[in-house]
């Protein structure tokens, strides 16, 4: 049985080897189909991996609440100067801390755009007023020095931690630690320097924000120096904004409770911010789910494209095999006359198509792998991650394509009348 199968396989293999170039051309359809499936799946996997890593960097245990400027109600030009009050409040923060079940840590953040100056150098920066436990909900590493401490918060110390870009621009040569810099008009002492830091903004596009221009200072100090009202002067008009907190970051103890907590949080905020839609809630975990959904959709589209290309590849194989069968009609007649059963003929031609398609599949897998290696050299943002499953799947599918698209030609060959076949010129 095994030897019979091996001999049939060998026979089919010889059929393929007989016309090397033709066999290669025939298997091209499957080859490119499989290669593109491998490459595209790998690129998709890489992209979704990147997105997931970034979302995870936001913290899957976290819920982010941000202040949003509500849409203007009255026409902009009417008043030369006005005060808009919106956003999250200290009261919101307190209420979250008190009432949210499972909310372990609430991190309030206040951000104010101020120039940073040292000697004659100047850097654009964003002063972020926060609390010592900022690190619980944010992923950052210090290059040197320390972060804001409890003592700083209590004593409203004028100290700051510089983002990497700000540090580089203000202190291209000097050691920043211990230096006194000016944020706007206020003097702060540098106590720490951060490594470069980015984060996902949490929008639908997966935009990345550079946080290396942030300067971190105790929330209490920031509140004392700049108050709640920010005045912007632009093209002759004065816009005044009163925003207590720009962000509240909530850390939930258990990942499973994140979405339930987010729901409670939303209700709570809806109750206290009845009049204005001046905040947004971002749940990284939900983003992660969305990203996974998107990936599934992507894979489905990919599957359809792959299916079409393999279908075309398969039709190509059928086409060539039909020609081969016609070309070898005499041989079929001879084999039948000498005792070959129909199943022998079917097996012989089926092995040929399976070898063609399977061989195309294996070549396609190699090509796909090469593409995965080459893609990052063309576009460094892409990191294809070929999965083992995609290789196994591609191979199985190409063999199935061989069987499915070989059946008809093989059946045609097997059902020929031996007498007619022998007479074929």
Partner 1 sequence: MPSHEPSVTPGGREVVVAMREVERHYVMGDSVVRALDGISFEIERGSYWAIMGPSGSGKSTLLNLLGCLDRPTKGAYVLGDEDVARLSDDQLSDVRSRKLGFVFQSFQLIQQLSILENVEVPLFYQGVAPAVSRERARQALARVGLGDRVSHRPNELSGGQQQRAAVARALVNQPIVLLADEPTGNLDSKTAREILDLFDELHQQGSTIILVTHDPGVASRAEWVLRVLDGKVDRVDRGGRARVETGATA
Q: Which residues lie near partner 1 (CB under 8 A)?
A: 3-4, 7, 14, 18, 330-331, 333-344, 418-419, 422
Instruction: Give dist(CA 188, CA 287) in Å, integer.
Output: 37
21-45 burial, b at 16+ Cβ within 10 Å, e below that, comes to eebeebbebbbbbbbbbbbbbbbbb
- Cβ(1)–Cβ(358) under 8 Å? no
Closest separation in Å from C-beta 7 to partner 1? 7
Name the minimum Å distance from CB 333 to partner 1.
Answer: 8
Sign of CA dihedral 356, 358, 360, 363: negative
DSSP 410: H
Kindly state the smallest distance separating residue 330's Cβ from partner 1, in Å.
Answer: 7
416 DSSP 8-state letter: S
DSSP code at position 205: T
Kindly provide the b/e burial profile for residues 286-313, where b requires at least 16 CB atoms within 10 angstroms of the residue's own CB.
bbbeebeebbeebbeebeeebeebbeeb
Closest approach, Cβ 19 to partner 1, in A, equals: 10
Query: Which of 124, 420 has the CB closer to partner 1?
Result: 420
Closest distance to partner 1 from the beta carbon of 419 (Å) = 5
Distance in Å, CB of 414 to partner 1, minimum: 10
φ/ψ bin of 102: left (φ > 0), alpha (ψ from -120 to 50), beta (otherwise)? left
Residue 167 makes CB contacts below 8 A (sequence gap 6+) with: 143, 176, 190, 193, 194
C-beta atoms surrounding 249 within 10 Å? 24
106 secondary structure, DSSP code: E
**Which lies closer to partner 1 via its Cβ, residue 292 or residue 331?**
331
Residue in 128, 131, 136 with CA at minimum distance from that of residue 148: 131
Whichever of 4 and 25 has its CB closer to partner 1, that residue is 4
Q: Which is nearer to partner 1, 78 or 338 (CB)?
A: 338
CB of 295 to partner 1, least distance (A): 50
Least distance CB 409 / partner 1 (angstroms) = 18
| Token pair recorded at residue 154 | 């209590």
Token duo for residue 214:
């942030």
Question: Looking at beta carbons only, is 11 or 24 nearer to partner 1?
Answer: 11
Q: Is 215 or 416 the residue whose CB approaches partner 1 more closely?
A: 416
Query: Among residues 67 and 329, whose Cβ is nearest to partner 1?
Result: 329
Q: Give the Cα separation of 171 and 174 in Å (integer).
A: 5
Strand 81-85: give its sheet, edge to edge: 81-85, 237-242, 229-234
Q: Are 218 and 128 in contact, with CB atoms under 8 Å apart?
A: no
Please report how close the Cβ of residue 408 comes to partner 1 at its closest, in angstroms. Answer: 19
- Cβ proximity to partner 1: between 128 and 332 the closer is 332
Q: Which is nearer to partner 1, 34 or 345 (CB)?
A: 345
Rounded to a whole number of angstroms, the minimum distance from the CB of residue 362 to partner 1 is 25
* Three-state SS at 280: strand
Answer whether 103's CB lies under 8 Å from 97's CB. yes
The answer to whether 215 and 147 have CB atoms below 8 angstroms apart is no
| For partner 1, the closer CB: 18 or 146 | 18
């Amino acid at each position: 049985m095994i030897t019979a199968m091996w001999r049939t396989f060998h026979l089919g293999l010889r059929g393929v080897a007989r016309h090397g170039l033709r066999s290669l051309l025939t298997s091209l359809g499957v080859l490119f189909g499989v290669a593109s499936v491998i490459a595209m799946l790998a690129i998709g996997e890489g992209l979704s991996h990147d997105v997931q890593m970034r979302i995870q960097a936001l913290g899957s245990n976290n819920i982010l609440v941000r202040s949003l400027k509500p849409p203007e109600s009255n026409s902009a030009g009417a008043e030369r100067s006005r005060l808009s009050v919106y956003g999250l409040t200290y009261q919101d923060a307190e209420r979250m801390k008190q009432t949210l079940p499972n909310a372990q840590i609430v991190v309030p953040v206040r951000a104010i755009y101020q120039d940073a100056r040292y000697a004659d150098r100047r850097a654009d920066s964003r002063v972020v007023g926060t609390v010592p436990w900022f690190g619980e909900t944010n992923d950052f590493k210090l290059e040197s020095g320390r972060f804001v401490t409890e003592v700083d918060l209590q004593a409203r110390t004028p100290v700051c931690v510089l983002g990497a870009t700000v540090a580089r621009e203000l202190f291209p040569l000097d050691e920043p630690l211990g230096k006194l810099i000016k944020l706007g008009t206020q003097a702060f002492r540098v106590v720490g320097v951060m490594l470069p830091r980015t984060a996902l903004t949490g929008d639908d596009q997966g935009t990345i924000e550079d946080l290396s221009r942030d300067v971190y200072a105790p929330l209490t100090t920031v509140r004392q120096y700049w108050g709640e009202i920010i005045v912007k002067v632009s093209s002759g008009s004065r816009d005044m904004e009163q925003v207590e907190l720009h962000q509240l970051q909530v850390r939930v103890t258990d990942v499973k409770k994140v979405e339930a907590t987010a729901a409670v949080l939303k209700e709570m905020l809806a109750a206290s911010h009845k009049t204005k839609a001046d905040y947004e809630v971002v749940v990284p975990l939900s983003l992660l789910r969305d990203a996974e959904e998107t990936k599934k959709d992507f894979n489905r589209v990919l599957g359809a494209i792959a299916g079409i290309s393999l279908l075309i590849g398969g039709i190509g194989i059928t086409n060539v095999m039909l020609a081969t069968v016609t070309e070898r009609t005499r041989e079929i007649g001879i084999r039948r006359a000498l005792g070959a059963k129909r199943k022998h003929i079917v097996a012989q031609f089926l092995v040929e198509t399976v070898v063609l398609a399977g061989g195309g599949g294996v070549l396609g897998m190699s090509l796909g792998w090469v593409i995965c290696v080459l893609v990052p050299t063309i576009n460094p943002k892409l990191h294809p991650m070929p999965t083992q499953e995609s290789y196994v799947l591609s191979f199985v599918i190409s063999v199935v394509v061989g069987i499915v698209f070989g059946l008809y030609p093989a059946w045609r060959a097997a059902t020929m009348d031996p007498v007619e076949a022998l007479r074929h010129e």
